[in-house]
Homo-oligomer: A and B are copies of this chain.
Amino acid sequence: MRNVQGDFTLTPVGHVSSELKDRAEAPKQGTEGAPDAWLVFEPSCSAALEGLRAGDRVIVLTWLHLAPRDVLRTRPRDDPANPETGVFATRSPARPNPIGLHPVEILQVVGRRLRVRGLEALDGTPVLDVKPVIGDVPGL
């Protein structure tokens, strides 16, 4: 997957602290029974959090660090009844750049920690970014 444009370096800004400890128990989407979780940010990023408040709807971007990056086709939702599909037409974590998008509501802001509702990311997942939701449909 080499590229003439060159590569880029991601530096995590924090990580997920969650009761979800392994992939077998993780729901596939945040709306499928995911627990509330904490986002714990690096001290160097404190200023970037200013203005975030309980009740805000945000999109959390994560790095799905356990996902394979060399998978280009998969069966959606790991269901053998589904036909093999290109990963760009699925939400599989397996993809060349495994960035997770998680729409959540902020429940609580405590220093450099945000409590969020319904996050399906595993404990220890690196956090890359937080963005406010814009508008209504499809927001993001």
Of B15, B42, B44, B140, which is within 8 A of A138 by CB?
B140
State the CA gap A91–B99 with chains docked (Å): 18
Oligomeric state, in copies:
2
Beta-carbon contact of A3 and B42 below 8 Å = yes
- Taken residue by residue from 73 to 117, chain A's Cβ proximity to chain B (1 for < 8 Å, 0 otherwise) reads as 100000000001111111100011101010100000000000000
Q: Which residues of B contact A138 (CB under 8 A)?
A: 57, 103, 133, 136-140
What is the chain B residue whose CB lies nearest that of A53? B89
Q: Which residue numbers of A lie inside 8 Å of B, CB to CB?
A: 1-3, 5, 7-13, 15, 29, 31, 42, 44-45, 47-52, 56-59, 61, 63, 65, 72-73, 84-91, 95-97, 99, 101, 103, 126, 128-140
